Amino acid sequence: MNTALHNEKLVNLVKYQREIYQFLYEEGKKGRLTCPACLEPVRLYLGIQDEPHFFHISNRPSTCQDKLSIQKPIEIIESSKELNGFQIPKSRTITVVQEQTTSFKKAKSVKAPPPFQPTSVEQANLQASYLQKLANDGTFLDEHQSNAVTAVNGPLLVLAGAGSGKTRVLTARTAYMLNEHRIKGNEMMLVTFTAKAANEMKMRLLQYPDMNQQMVKQLVTGTFHSIFYRILSFHQPEQYSSEKLLKKDWQREQILKEAGRELKLDEKEFAYDLALQQIGLWKNSLIAPNHVHAKTPWEEKVAFLYQYYENFKQKQRLFDFDDMLIGCYQLFTEQPQLLSIYHNRLHYFLIDEFQDINKVQYELMKLLSSKSNNICAVGDDDQSIYAFRGSDPHYLLDFEQDFPTAKVVILDQNYRSNHPIVATANAIIKKNKQRRAKSMIAQYDRDHAPIFFYPFDEEEEATMILTDILEKMEAGASPEDFAILYRTHTGSRAIFERFVHSSLPFTIDQDAESFYDRFIVKSMLGFLKLSLNEDDQESIKQILPALFVKQSVLQDLKAESILQDCTLLECLPQIKTGFAFQESKLKRVLQITRTLASLSPVVAIEKVEKELGFQDFIKKRGNEGNQMDKGSDDIRDLKVAAKRFQTLYEFLEHVDHMRAMNREIKALSKDRQHAVTLSTIHRAKGLEYKTVYILGAVDGSIPHDYALDAYRNGDEGPLEEERRLLYVAMTRAQEHLYLSVPEKRRGKTANSSRFLQPIR
């Protein structure tokens, strides 16, 4: 049914612009839509499987027919116009004259993959007695897996594609070496990138035949940091006492802020968290402070902070997590006799997720394995997605250069995903130039080709996904079957808000910051809040950077407010900065901020942007050093969120609720097992779900803007990593994969991701 009554006015979907659909969906949930024939409540369907339509809430069959005449059109407030110096809200009709104006595109399958050709994966020739025991115990190994398990001596590179049984190979190989070759556990080092992965491998080892707790306990297992810190603290216990470890980010940031005062950096404006990330990147690349070659003014500042930071730690005899690896590397290079001790003790090395290794980790493993040459590296260059941490896939790509006698085994059977998903992912990743040629082969087929769907914007995207999940759950699916993946945390705002207002349990990443707690967003919200409460101290603090006023002024404002018996906002025009242009702006703040309360949220935001020079503030701050997020993007996202609300009070109440819910959901996420997963693609690596939705498959999102900028400047590396990121996201899906291609992103027309070209 295409027609419904809204406030006694007839609404015909085919006559209305697409952007109104989300509004009608929410009006239906509020009980404001009725059937024009029977006057019973109806709602708007916004999902993936079917086209938008009105449906009766009651389950009884309906024989109601559409009424196709159009009465008075609905009007919505969108923007404003200027009249005699005043901003007047401007209404815009949501109807148009032409027939069939809706731009709705039906969901469609990706380009048909090559026909599925079943491959007979034979179990390996089980000559080794322990492999026979594994097989009898239910641990199947195909021929390539068996080759990786039994290649004990010499360097070995295992290219383990997505879903190829990497963990099974690593653990089976370890058990095989212990039982078949009688290698002692304390002669083997098994390195992982997370403590969770290390624990999972230990648990799996205990399930294999002839394995026991004592054998597993003897293994040298753990993350790079845990293993090498144990070595450091044993040989240099005073220097590397746990009491001297800078465990928290705020502790390290505090040291940088001390250095920043010498450069007169504003603590509220300079991105110290990003400076810490950059310092970590230099350290893990074994670049000392005096060897940094700064490429930008921002890097010059960070290089100064880096030098100060290292000097401070040295004087105070402190260390951080990066020093655990660097310190051990220095220990081995400066004391070859000590390295010789470990050469005589450790003879076999197994490294998981080798594509994520950085320079200091790689050099450490080269040092330790240089005598025995028994190093087994397991990874997939197509899943290298951590360049921002210093990871470099070229250590895997160029493995044979440092280990000329290396044997290479390719695990190319995918046991996770159905054929259409595997074939689609293959078609995308093969466009990368810097990779080892390989193609994954699915072990089973399903009639579930990956699907493109085309929401209008982020809000409709979230609604369509929620509807689809609810439909699948009605058919028997469970919440834990689903994952919704996005490029960055900011891309999750709409889907998070939609789930908060649903009854579905869901989890989010522990480091997921609320969108409304972002620096630029908080600053803008400060103006909106002050229009409703002129004595809001937190909001005054948030707007000062946007006015180019130091935080130290806040105390003067508080004192002046008491002496003059006026609000904090009224005190702002009295600040003397010594700059006429700045004092002139401060005088306008009071007048303009007071006008915001009567405006719609979107109009109020635009007014702050244009009349208080907020864009100048964004340009000045420039999110220096942050390639991933831009302040102007945050404001565009904020407008998309705000357009759903008619009053500032309603919008700001929603903002506070979402902040509180972000904290609550994070606390619940630690223990929730039966829940839909909302996650960045990076966090989802190594996991799998029956159904996966990928948000925002458009240029600017994936690939990210920063990668497109690098490509335009002649650097293809970031663009190839973005393609690997999409490949990782797609290969999390076992049965169903959905790629969202929204028409609008951040209020602007979006273009389908260039990565999708081979499968369209």
Question: Which letter does DSSP use for residue 612 in this model?
Answer: S
The count of C-alpha atoms lying within 13 angstroms of the C-alpha of 152, restricted to the half-sphere facing its C-beta, is: 16
Q: What is the pLDDT of residue 499?
A: 95
Residue 222 three-state SS: strand
**Cβ neighbours, 10 Å, residue 364:** 22
Longest CA–CA span in the chain (Å) reads: 92
Is the model's pLDDT at 124 over the cut of 90?
no
User: What pLDDT, on a 0 to 100 scale, did the predictor assign at position 121?
Assistant: 62
What number does CATH give the domain 153-226+344-415? Answer: 3.40.50.300
At 53, is the secondary structure helix, strand, or coil?
strand
Of the candidates 702, 680, 657, the residue with the CA atom closest to the CA atom of residue 490: 680
Q: Which two tokens stand for residue 679?
A: 């996650």
Condensed to tens digits (0 to 9), the pLDDT of residues 681-695 reads 999 998 999 999 999
- Cα angle 115-117-121, degrees, rounded to a multiple of 5: 155
How far does Cα 213 stand from its chain's mean position? 37
pLDDT band at 297 (very low <50, low <70, confident <90, very high): confident
Task: Say if residue 576's pLDDT is above 90.
Answer: no
Note whether 246-318 and 447-510+670-759 share their fold: no
Residue 70 confidence (pLDDT): 46
Residue % of the chain over a pLDDT of 90: 64
246-318, what's its fold?
Answer: Arc Repressor Mutant, subunit A (1.10.10)
pLDDT band at 566 (very low <50, low <70, confident <90, very high): confident
Going by pLDDT thresholds of 50, 70 and 90, the confidence category of residue 513 is confident
Helix (H, G, I), strand (E, B) or coil at 82: strand
Q: Are 459 and 42 spatial neighbours (Cβ–Cβ below 8 Å)?
A: no
Helices 614-621, 519-532: axis angle to 10 degrees equals 160
Q: What is the pLDDT of residue 623?
A: 45
What's the rounded Cα separation, in Å, for the pair 370 and 336?
12
In the chain, the percentage of residues whose pLDDT exceeds 70 is 91
Could you name the CATH architecture of 447-510+670-759?
3-Layer(aba) Sandwich (3.40)
CATH fold label, 516-652: PCRA; domain 4 (1.10.486)
Q: What is the pLDDT of residues 194-248, one digit of tens each?
A: 888 899 999 999 999 999 999 999 999 999 999 999 999 999 998 999 999 998 8
Residues 6+ apart with CB under 8 A from 328: 228, 229, 231, 232, 364
pLDDT surpassing 50 at residue 2: yes
What residues does each domain of the chain span?
A: 3-103, 153-226+344-415, 246-318, 447-510+670-759, 516-652
Amino acid letter, 69: S
pTM of the complete model beyond 0.85: yes
Q: Average pLDDT over the chain, rounded to whole?
A: 88
Helices (H), 297-390: 297-316, 321-334, 336-345, 359-369
Are 201 and 221 in contact by the 8 Å Cβ rule? The answer is yes
598-654 confidence digits (pLDDT tens): 999 999 999 998 888 888 777 766 544 444 555 568 888 999 999 989 899 999 999
Is residue 483 classed as helix, strand or coil in its secondary structure?
A: strand
Which of these, 675, 750, 193, 727, lies nearest to 491 by C-alpha position?
A: 750
Token readout for 20 is 């109104």
pLDDT digits (tens, 9 = 90+) for 713-728: 999 999 999 999 999 9
